[in-house]
Amino acid sequence: MAPPPSLQVNLSPAELSFIRSSLAQTPPIRLDHAKGPKDFRSMRAECDVLPGANGSARIALEDGTEALVGVKAEVEKSQWRPVPGESARLTAAGEVTMLDVDDAADKDENTKGKGQNSWVEISVEVPGFRDDDALPVFLAAMLTETLLASGELKDRLYINNRFHWKLYVDVLLLSPLLSYPLSLLSMTTHLALLTTRLPALKSEKDEDPLFDDDWDASVQLYGKERQQIEKPPVIVLAMAVGSNIIFDPSKEELAVADAVLAVACTTSANSGGRIVSIRTVDPPSHLTPPGVPNAMNSATGGKVPTSSADALTQRELLSNSGVWTPPRGGMKRSLLSGIVKMVVEKGGVAEEVIEALQRVEIG
């Protein structure tokens, strides 16, 4: 997807060249000079901000970007669909109930594979963009994809054969688009899902669902008692400049990226970090105009090349690093594996981010 107009860079070739060369140093010098390559921009977060929602969270970055997420759950009638091996059971309704296991501990086992993708609906609203603009649609698709990837969330929305929870996740970017918002929106969604509570179920089996109206008795979607299950995935952005890998790039840093990856990762108590999905994001740097070297600029005493072929040859021969040339191609394999390793390793980015978000929820 081409970058949206507001993310397109309007930096001069000299600036781009400067930022790139500073990020390509070892260790990279980031625009916030105290930050290392794995450091995230500092942020402020709070959860349970919307009283009317099942779960909500707000995160504000230091530069002013701010996101608000509300999660709403509704009981919806499930559409009947055939399940392999169920036709025999349907012949005798009495047998179905006998097959059902009442034990709460086995409930997760029981609902496995019964969730459907349509039970989670995410809408993303970005100020200045229409609902059907490419950016919000793309962001919503990315967030939906990562939430559904492991299949755990949708299975948890299963109530019984006839009813399920439908989860509406409304993602709002409150500020104008100051940097690529995917990682921020994903973190806010994560935090909102962590705090999401659903009313406790009182009815049994395939009865019409009846809920406990005591909110204190409600159960958390990602509750403590389900420690073994995975946390909702979080997307982190990683970009490559030369041989350096930089996490959570700012807008200016993104403007000189060779390649950008959106890595969705999750952790569970027993298995550490795990990658759910990876996507490449088209960096805005591909659309920047190249700088004109002094030798080709008539205003600096150079000679303008006579033909475009000539200009192309001269550019290819450029050994001067002071001239901005937009990056071409994608990411090297070694960098890709480097990023994956940095995310999933013990104490890596995935664990750090999810632990930090967990601490916000506990308060």
Residues binding other proteins (CB under 8 A): 9-15, 17-19, 21-22, 25, 29-36, 38-46, 58-60, 62, 247, 289, 291-294, 297-301, 320, 322-324, 349, 352-353, 356-357, 359-360
Contact 292, 16 (CB under 8 A): no
Gyration radius from the chain CA atoms: 25
Cβ nearer to other proteins, comparing 219 with 318: 318
Q: Rounded to the nearest 5°, which phi and psi values hold at 268? A: -135, 160
Query: Among residues 77 and 359, whose Cβ is nearest to other proteins?
Result: 359
Q: Is the CA virtual torsion 76, 77, 83, 86 positive or negative?
A: positive
How far is C-alpha 74 from the chain's CA centre? 24
The distance of closest approach from Cβ of residue 252 to other proteins in the complex, given in angstroms and rounded to an integer, is: 9
User: In whole angstroms, how close is the CB of 325 to other proteins at the nearest point?
Assistant: 11
Least CB distance to other proteins at residue 207 (A): 43
Shortest reach from residue 15's CB to other proteins, in Å: 6
For residues 177 and 360, which CB has a smaller minimum distance to other proteins in the complex?
Answer: 360
Nearest-5° Cα angle at 52, 49 to 55: 55
Choose between 271 and 300: whose C-beta lies nearer to other proteins: 300
What three-state secondary structure class fits 313?
Answer: helix
By C-beta, is 71 or 187 nearer to other proteins?
187
Task: State the CB neighbour count (10 A cutoff) for residue 317.
Answer: 9
Nearer to other proteins, 13 or 327 (CB): 13
To other proteins, the closest distance from the beta carbon of 54 in angstroms equals 21
User: What does the alpha-carbon distance between residue 348 and residue 107 come to, in Å, rounded to a whole number?
Assistant: 32
Mind giving me the DSSP string for 216-255?
Answer: GG-EETT-GGGTTSPPPPEEEEEEEETTEEEES--HHHHT
> Over the range 85-108, which residues count as b (16 or more CB within 10 Å of their CB) and which as e?
eeeeeeeeeeeeeeeeeeeeeeee
Q: How far is the CB of 250 from other proteins (least distance, A)?
A: 11
Minimum CB distance to other proteins, residue 182 (Å): 16
Write down the number of H helices and E strands in the chain. 11, 11
Which is nearer to other proteins, 198 or 349 (by Cβ)? 349
3 state SS of 174: coil
Q: Which is nearer to other proteins, 31 or 134 (CB)?
A: 31
Minimum CB distance to other proteins, residue 190 (Å): 12
